[in-house]
Structure 1
Amino acid sequence: MPIAANSIVAALDSRQVVRIEAVHRGFLYQHLYTAACLFGAARVGATKVVVEHDEDVELLTADRQVYLQIKTRQASLVFSDIDDAVDRFAAIRKEHEAGRRKGRPFFAIVANVSPGPQLKRRFAEPAWPTDVAVIWPGGPPAVDSGLPAPQADVNSMFAACCDLAQSLPFAMLAPETLVWKLAGRIMHAAAGLAPHADHSFETAELPGVFEQLVIQLQDFPAPPLRYRPQDNEPPLISPARVRLITGFSGAGKTSWVSQTALHATDVLAYFNATEVPSTALVSTVARELAARLFSKSGGKLGEILFPGATSPQILFAISKNLSDSDLRATVVIDNVHRVSHEDVRSLIELAPHLHFVLLAQPGPAVGALQATLNIVPESLGGWTNETIASEGSFLGCRGDYSAYQRLQVLTAGLPLYVQNALQISANHYDGDVARFCDELEGRTHVVETAQELILSRVFEQFGDSDRRAIGALSLFDVPLSRSEAVTVLSDAYSFSERSTATLLRKLQAAGAAQVFGVDNFKVHDAMRLLGRSYLDDLGPEELRGAQLAIKNLLVDQLPKKNSMQRVSLMLRMFAALGDTEPLIDMATDELFHELGYMTEIAAYLENLAGSAETKAVDRFWALDGLAFADFKKGDLALLDQRLSLMEELIEGNNLGSRERLSLAMKRVNNYARNGDSRRAHEAMEHVINTVPDEPDYLRIAKYNFARAFFSLKDYSGCSNITSALIPEYFDLLGITPEMVIGNNPDKLMPLLKDRESQADDLKHLADTLDLHAMALNRMGTFSGLSRIHAMKFYSMANALDSFVRVGQDLADEFLSRFDYDGALDVFERNLLPAIRSKNLMGHVIPVRSHYAVALAYAGKFAAADTEMARLIPYEQGLSPQGRNELQAQREIIAGLKLKAPPPQWQFPRPTAKYPVNAKCFCGSGKKYKKCHGRQV
């Protein structure tokens, strides 16, 4: 039976079409090139454009069929990239030659990169098919094809499509908008979804398609010129028939809906409820929706708006027509909190085949809608730290990761508030984000923010006693339970349990509370700024009463709820209330420094150490904590000053042996770090003569000596001490090295001896293993499992700072052995999840830039470049040392592109029969028969 020249026949491989329909998402370059084909279809005489059938794109004309395979690559195109396509072209050519397909076939491979030299030579060979063309940016056009010129990347392909769209007669709509919308329609066609379930676009119908998209999008507010997505941003279209999106004014709801509408493939309509009388909601939406959706559809509009039709009848007719046409329509109603919830319910019930997205500001109306429609409100996630940094960099601001994190917390990441805060930083603080945050947190800023202006209207809805309570709860930057709120407000202001419960209901109704799980909440981050300001205005006594109540609660709850955020808040309360003793005790604890708490109270300790009113012993231990921090940072000049002051305090006030021993230990390592071998050994002699003859003290002294030997480059002396010290700590903990192999921390913890000093013992064992590994490496020896075990013990001790540092050292050791997969595994399974989950802000930039280097070693240059590009907005906010480190990482990556490293290391396989009970050759520590011998 004859086949029409422009009809669609069955694909050669039907399974391929099913697979493509199931997984085809995000091939943006291909969709944009297809859009360029659609814009030019009429010009080249194409009667139909087909996507994802036998090839990526097919153009059908009266006398021929053009098959396009689209390739995007990072490097030059080689024959192995296209050999499958060439074979497939040969099979399709036979179909045409046999008469099963009409028209003359023509094949083209469209690439975003030029072919390599070998492939170009292949084109010139007589065997290359004359009906197969390869086109690329700047290359020769395919003869008589009329195909759009490909571009080098998505951005330039998008720009080329916009130039083509500019020629269409839709002056009221930006070309960019039409291109994005059409790309979304193409994606649905590629996946075999309505209204292009057959994967095709009829050229004659394209003007109608373009016009339909234009009509829909002219209803929507114009998206921002510079739109930045929010965190985990939801799609506009979802299976849920009714959705309620809530957020304060400034949360970016309207921007989100106008931007996502560009990429949605549903039939869309937008209504702003502020422009519709509440009682006229149903009738207004019914008649305008009919006109918008069906005014270009022949007689359908008359069928819907028949004489005497009521609003419910119109809505039912719209819904039925869409259902009959296998189309789905989504209606967006903005500011829905301004109309009656009963009218909204009626509208939704009368149109069962329509989908609705309702945008609202928090308040009692949202609660009514939620109850009436039985839906759970959604909220947008706000901007991430990275997005805020990108916007800040664009506006000329500077800040490191920590500065932008503070701004994210202060503004809750709500786009309008963030942009306003960054504009103020740029205009009034010389772009210094950290300085603006200092003044905003201290309520000393001179320019009122949009956040304060907008949210003050919400805050003023509460009475004086409620505002005072909100102020107290605003001191919490961590979630608290309802019972904890009752305790704090009862202690601070004699609030009853009933009054607290009523306040919490009001906060939730106003959207001023963020709820976590079933019973935990906190005042919304955006509202906390106003609550704190109100509390400050009430005077120091009111503030102190709230701080005291919070401190007492945290101390009482610490054994049950011991999170890093709660401990951090407790330290700030100690500092604010002047509780010296617990702060000094913590500042001299190594784990305190590991968890990053020092930054919370460093300024307080500085004041304490410098005050003549502070007792000498307290001044000494405040300096001791600061000196430990200096040693970790490597600030040896400042460390020298502190140690001199500590010595003066000892001699001038006849302090005890504990203080003298602590100073002597620090002197040992300070002299060694400065390369002063003589004085370092003299200091060691002093420690030996003064240290108590007790195992705990002796182990610490031995470790400090080993550390000093390492600094003095006596690596053999260092490893001799650590080799003897490691078994002692294993004995203390009641485990063996063999028990650690293959077991994660959660499996090891139950095996440990229950000692009061368990956390310290774990930390000290990890320190010793880490030092042992460094000494072995300096001697040119592989460290084996030392670093892997050290990471486990640091994790068990919650010594996060050292966990990350040793993890980076382990990754470097893998890289030095050309085990790139092992290095990436350390980052992806350990370091990156740890800095995210524990919010280790100071490590974010060093770890991610280091990860980019590991990606480059593994040959994943595109991923490495992407990672480094994401760090650019932070660069100006880094210290000179931080900027130099970032630049050094870039240079390493650039060097690896020019000269590839050796290939990935492989486990050496034993050539002779390997003893089954010997330790495995891979270094795991397991017997061969239980490790790689299993594979044999």
Structure 2
Amino acid sequence: MQPNDQIPHNDVLDPAQLKRIESVHKGFLYQHLYAVGCLLLAQSSGVREVLVERDEDVELNTEAGHVYVQVKTRSKPIMPVDVSGALERFEILRQEHKDGRRPGAAQFVIVANQVLGETLRSEVDEQKASIDLIYLSAGSSALRPACLPPAWTSLEEAAQWCTAEAEKLNFSLLSPSSLTWKMAGLVMLACAAGGGNARHVFHTSELPGLFEQLVVQLQDFPTPPLSYRPQKNEPELTSAERVRIICGLSGAGKTTWAAHAALHSPEPCAYYDVGDLPGPALASSIVRELASKYMKRDSDGIRKILLPGASGYEAIRAFDRFLEQAEAPLIVVVDNAHRVPVTNIRDLLNATRHIRFILLCQPHENVRELEAVMGLRREILQGWDLDTVAQVASGAGAYGSPQALQQLRAYTGGLPLYVDSAIAIAKADYDGNIETLCADLALQANVAETAQEIILARVYEGYDAVTQNALAVVSLADTGLTQEEVVRLLQTTLKLSPGGAAAVIKKIQATGTVEVFGAKTLKVHDAVRALGLRHLELMGEPAVTAALLTLKELLIQGMEKNRDTSRIALLIQVFIKLNDVEPLIELAGEETFYEMGILVDVASSLASAVSSGSLDPGQTFWALDGLVFSLMRDSRYDEASSHLSTMAQILDAHGFEFREHLSLAMKKILFAAYLGHEKDVRREVESAAPKIPDSIHRRIFDYNHAFALWKLKRYKAAELLCKAVMDGYYGILGLEPKDVLGKNPDVLWKVIKRSDDVSEDIKHLADSLDLYAKILNAQGRKSGFSRIHAMKFYNMVNAYDSFVRLGQDAAEEFAEAGEYVGAREILEQQVLRVVSEMGLMGRMVQVRGQYAEILALCKDYAGAVSEIERLQHYLHGLEKDEAKELLNQIGNIVGIMRKGIHG
């Protein structure tokens, strides 16, 4: 099969290679933690030195001699081939000691996270192994030297053991977990001969000082939460850049990110909150703090740096040189750096060349100026992803559908403080129902204030009136607008000149609450939009209406000019807010908008309009037609019955043209097929068929007839009729099935015949291919290329929902044929990409549950379990059928794993 597009950025070229890489790094981390365990035991067990990554993974120098440790992590029992290389090196080292080239006795140890295989177990039980060789394996009963930790089965067990051992050290103010991970970082640095440690050695006599240094470093940072949750695409603390700006709104988790990252940094880190410190005092305050902490044992060095009369910049320059000469790295995290005048920050940075700085800032004009004068570019914390929001909600006892959780993430920007606050309110005031909270937030009706509102309200109120009003108007758009569109929107709503509107855009950009995409596309940050919309209501109905009408005009013009459908959801929202029912009626029957997974309540607006009695008979008919279309598309046939009756009554009373009669006839055919009433289907077909005026409507009618026959299990008749429809559309497009083989959508666009209705013809061909595949499968036959070709055509016309559904069907067909790798490729390279990029929340859990099942069939059990663990947090917010399907998928995965593990 030919992939449709490039592999998405959040997937990998070779999942198997990724798995191998992960296994390698897990092995290294296990080894580093084992070395940490040795360091924690060193003082009490008479070890003089602990060496890492020299002749062996870990070496212990004791009074009696040398202990050589080889660490093995495997997924299966340890076999002779796993240790053969280590035994050969042990023999060379053994000879070195015998010949006197190495002093003392030699002890050799193989540590393994798995049990010994049958062959090695027999050697140990029968005492065939060398007397100076010990195997420490998972669950081993072998006598363990006091200087060595046990063999752990997993990284989690390793971390727990080291943490428990670290608790015995006399540093009550420091988290044992923090000390463990910091030491693991130092071990990793020593393995690479970093920090001037060419011998890869830790001297036991220096460990108390080392522990004390770690305590000094880590206690400076605010304590991160015990269950820290990373943000989306979170940046690393260490970087090749000497100066970095991490920028985010208050509550974005900048300080927590830095504090948590410092725990795992192999390099020393310092934290300094400038708060309300006067700018001129910045350099002198920081250098005094740093010098007193990092040069405690070198009082002469401190005196040279902190000379009486020396300026702060001279002192920081001297301290920087001192660290550079000592080859001592240092990362300084400066919190609230946006409060300091740019001149003072610039002078501090220019006075150093070795110390690396991370500036934690809120959006502010100072940040923009600093970027300009220093040639820097800010990094943004992107907030928690949807899985993390679901996990936090589930952990707090709140629940919501994937759509509601995504809505909550949009309202809060995913920023940790705001998510936590909103979930707490959902729990306290809405019985944990996030859906209800989001509905109130959309109407600005929530009574309890979130932390987001309290914090950002202060920021918002600090802006001048023009900036507040401009942000409010631009907040109407939940997607990017071009700078020209924003100018027109501000001109019309705020009665500004073009120059005045351009000046206001600069002002709102300076607040840092406006995201800029590319060169000219602007959007108010999601976390601020709620406040902007609230302020817009206070500006009065005329201003709101003017803004909505202008936005509607801009969106329609943009779609006509660029044929960009990405902002259709916003346009429909505008129609609803303006109570503009007529375009909603026209859109309701268009499949395109359902295909795009637009999550707006068009149906409720149409239902309200019908109930109001304000529509004429024609409008009422097509509004009901749109409602029936929506219900049938979601297989909610029972709810469609009363609407069909009303539509029939309108036709009886007013007649209308063939379009209305044909539309009702096709829906009645589908409804009768759903009920299994074959006679009713035949009667409707015989009544409507002679009235069809042309081949265009004939093909559409025949497709619906074929669909009904498939529902009625009349497979042969359905196959013949569907094949004729397919051939008709192939002919219109100037294609034959063989022309589609091996071609991606971009190539197909170049070879098809174009007409005014080309997109509709492509969509109808894809629908026919989809139905044809179902008919073949129902007869126990393979679908061939029907589904693959249908996916290409759906892709061409942005029929995303059908594309995903069909991709799932194709993956299922591959899996049933035992072609698990092919099924995985379809989901990874195509389906999951579209679900993510197009935000199809309604299909997200189902698709990922299927993907987890395919992973299990591919024997990637760890990947399957990991995916299901993330999906379980959505369980309580799913509809009954969706929850049942997910639980079935979990049960299937358990069964697959049991069968795979136990044969």
TM over 0.5: yes
Name the counterpart of 1:351: 352
Segment of structure 1 superposing worse, 247-256 or 648-657 = 648-657
Name the counterpart of 1:747: 747
Name the counterpart of 1:714: 714
Q: 1:425·1:432 contact (CA, 8 Å) conserved in 2?
A: yes
Name the counterpart of 1:596: 597
- The TM-score with structure 2 as length reference comes to 0.93
Segment of structure 1 superposing worse, 725-734 or 122-131 = 122-131
Name the counterpart of 2:791: 791
| Structure 1 segment 487-886 matched on structure 2, within 5 A | 487-597=488-598, 599-692=600-693, 694-886=694-886
Q: Please give the per-residue CA displacement for 1:294-341, whole angstroms capped at 9, x wherever unaligned.
A: 103475434434566553443233212211121211112111222332
| Structure 1 segment 100-139 matched on structure 2, within 5 A | 101-116=102-117, 119-139=120-140
Q: 1:875·1:883 contact (CA, 8 Å) conserved in 2?
A: yes
Q: 1:649·1:655 contact (CA, 8 Å) conserved in 2?
A: no
What amino acid maps onto 2:241 in structure 1? A
Q: 2:27·2:72 contact (CA, 8 Å) conserved in 1?
A: no
Give the CA deviation at 1:486. 1.1
Give the CA deviation at 1:264. 1.3
Q: 2:109·2:133 contact (CA, 8 Å) conserved in 1?
A: yes
- The TM-score with structure 1 as length reference comes to 0.90
1:670–1:79 Cα change, 3 Å: farther
Aligned to 1:560, the other structure's residue is in SS state helix
1:765–1:350 Cα change, 3 Å: same
What amino acid maps onto 2:416 in structure 1? P
**How far apart are the structure 2 equivalents of 1:114 and 1:546?**
70
Q: Please give the per-residue CA displacement for 1:524-575, whole angstroms capped at 9, x wherever unaligned.
A: 2221111100111233222111100100111111123444441111111112
| Structure 1 segment 172-571 matched on structure 2, within 5 A | 172-274=173-275, 276-297=277-298, 299-305=300-306, 310-571=311-572
Q: Please give the per-residue CA displacement for 1:379-435, whole angstroms capped at 9, x wherever unaligned.
A: 211111111111111111101221111111111111111111111111111111111
Segment of structure 1 superposing worse, 492-501 or 322-331 = 492-501
**How far apart are the structure 2 equivalents of 1:310 and 1:90?**
62
1:305–1:460 Cα change, 3 Å: closer
**How far apart are the structure 2 equivalents of 1:24 and 1:865?**
20
Give the CA deviation at 1:457. 2.1
Aligned to 1:230, the other structure's residue is in SS state coil
Segment of structure 1 superposing worse, 89-98 or 173-182 = 89-98
Q: Please give the per-residue CA displacement for 1:665-686, whole angstroms capped at 9, x wherever unaligned.
A: 1122222222222222222222
Q: 1:745·1:796 contact (CA, 8 Å) conserved in 2?
A: yes
Q: 1:329·1:355 contact (CA, 8 Å) conserved in 2?
A: yes
1:440–1:81 Cα change, 3 Å: farther
**How far apart are the structure 1 equivalents of 2:727 and 2:782?**
19
1:654–1:146 Cα change, 3 Å: same
Aligned to 2:47, the other structure's residue is in SS state coil
1:846–1:99 Cα change, 3 Å: farther
Q: Which runs of 5+ in 2 are unaligned?
A: 1-20
Aligned to 1:227, the other structure's residue is in SS state coil
Give the CA deviation at 1:46. 2.3
Q: 2:47·2:147 contact (CA, 8 Å) conserved in 1?
A: no
Q: Which has the higher contact order (CA 8 A, sep 6+)?
A: 2
Segment of structure 1 superposing worse, 889-898 or 376-385 = 376-385
Q: 1:571·1:600 contact (CA, 8 Å) conserved in 2?
A: no
What amino acid maps onto 2:737 in structure 1? P
Q: 1:818·1:902 contact (CA, 8 Å) conserved in 2?
A: no
Q: Please give the per-residue CA displacement for 1:784-837, whole angstroms capped at 9, x wherever unaligned.
A: 111111110111121111100110111111111111110111011111111111
**How far apart are the structure 1 equivalents of 2:107 and 2:388?**
46
**How far apart are the structure 2 equivalents of 1:532 and 1:721?**
53
1:854–1:291 Cα change, 3 Å: same
**How far apart are the structure 2 equivalents of 1:462 and 1:317?**
42
Aligned to 1:41, the other structure's residue is in SS state helix
**How far apart are the structure 2 equivalents of 1:624 and 1:851?**
36
What amino acid maps onto 1:360 in structure 2? C
Segment of structure 1 superposing worse, 748-757 or 695-704 = 695-704
Tell me the matched-pair count. 882
1:425–1:559 Cα change, 3 Å: same
What amino acid maps onto 1:789 in structure 2? H
Aligned to 1:261, the other structure's residue is in SS state helix
Give the CA deviation at 1:595. 1.5
**How far apart are the structure 1 equivalents of 2:372 and 2:726?**
63
Give the CA deviation at 1:847. 0.8
Q: 2:466·2:504 contact (CA, 8 Å) conserved in 1?
A: no
Segment of structure 1 superposing worse, 880-889 or 511-520 = 511-520
Name the counterpart of 1:924: none
Segment of structure 1 superposing worse, 875-884 or 531-540 = 531-540
Q: 2:276·2:339 contact (CA, 8 Å) conserved in 1?
A: no
Q: 2:572·2:600 contact (CA, 8 Å) conserved in 1?
A: no
**How far apart are the structure 2 equivalents of 1:123 and 1:717?**
72
Q: Please give the per-residue CA displacement for 1:60-95, whole angstroms capped at 9, x wherever unaligned.
A: 323333333333445554555545544554454455
Name the counterpart of 1:42: 43
**How far apart are the structure 2 equivalents of 1:344 and 1:448?**
36
Give the CA deviation at 1:625. 1.6
Give the CA deviation at 1:621. 1.2
**How far apart are the structure 1 equivalents of 2:472 and 2:300?**
62
Segment of structure 1 superposing worse, 343-352 or 818-827 = 343-352
Q: Which runs of 5+ in 1 are unaligned?
A: 1-19, 904-936
Give the CA deviation at 1:112. 3.1
Segment of structure 1 superposing worse, 335-344 or 775-784 = 335-344
Give the CA deviation at 1:119. 4.9
1:636–1:267 Cα change, 3 Å: same
Q: 1:134·1:142 contact (CA, 8 Å) conserved in 2?
A: no
1:716–1:76 Cα change, 3 Å: farther
Segment of structure 1 superposing worse, 743-752 or 73-82 = 73-82
What amino acid maps onto 1:875 in structure 2? L
**How far apart are the structure 2 equivalents of 1:526 and 1:611?**
36
User: In percent, how many aligned pairs have the same letter?
Assistant: 39
Segment of structure 1 superposing worse, 876-885 or 296-305 = 296-305
**How far apart are the structure 1 equivalents of 2:670 and 2:642?**
15
What amino acid maps onto 1:513 in structure 2? V
Segment of structure 1 superposing worse, 93-102 or 629-638 = 93-102
**How far apart are the structure 2 equivalents of 1:625 and 1:135?**
70
1:78–1:289 Cα change, 3 Å: same
Q: Please give the per-residue CA displacement for 1:622-654, whole angstroms capped at 9, x wherever unaligned.
A: 121221222221112112232222222222333
**How far apart are the structure 1 equivalents of 2:231 and 2:800?**
29
Q: Please give the per-residue CA displacement for 1:192-221, whole angstroms capped at 9, x wherever unaligned.
A: 322434433222222222111111112212
What amino acid maps onto 2:772 in structure 1? H
Give the CA deviation at 1:96. 4.5
